[in-house]
Amino acid sequence: MPLDAAPSRTARLAVMPRRILRRHYRLMAALLLCAAAALAVHHFTPAPPPTDAVVVAAADLPAGTVLSAADLALAQLPAGAVPAGSAASTQPLVGQRLATALRAGSPVFDTSIVGPGLLAGAPQGTVAVPVRPADPSTVQLVSPGQLVDIVLSSGNGFDEPAGSTVLARAVPVLWKADDGGASPTLLGSQEPDGLVVVAAAPSDATNLAGASSRGNIFLVLVG
């Protein structure tokens, strides 16, 4: 092998990167430009805002639904925008009964559930009182938020004089059972169907307690 063969090979290897650079400089320039643009976009793009989880209805749910895990979903709202009274976890809500109908995607509030949350915003001392009208079909005429007078009808007009007493006036309905007209069970006790829960002042609650044992309860819708 000639003595000058090694130096010439080394020279060719040194020149090769420059040839490749000249041949593909446009492609490499484009790649460098894209990388620079990506870095700039990443640098100037603000970080996503923090979010909080809120439980929402996974589908349209009617009032009276006993919630299951399939009825609920988690949505993300901007931190600080989660409404008061909503839930961040589905677990405490499973098995609870809805007091009002919910549209798909609506948050599940404490006021949506049969329980103490129904009295949110009520005057101090207000209590939730269940009443069972004598005619369960009348339950279908009322809805949560409707104001009703509660009337006790006693006597039979024969051996006992008939009379009516207003036990509570213009009390709001908090919740009603879905299906009026339930029949007694084999043990003689009735199912929750036909029940109405109203918000009453303590004095009215005293009058309403056990009223059904003194006669027939009727609901009168008021404006």
pLDDT value of residue 152: 92
Could you read off the pLDDT of 30-50 as tens digits, one per residue?
A: 777 787 777 777 666 777 788
pLDDT value of residue 6: 52
Q: What share of the chain is helix, strand, coil (3-state, %, to 5)?
A: 30, 30, 40
Confidence band (pLDDT; 50, 70, 90) for 149?
very high
Could you read off the pLDDT of 184-206 as tens digits, one per residue?
A: 333 334 445 678 899 999 888 88
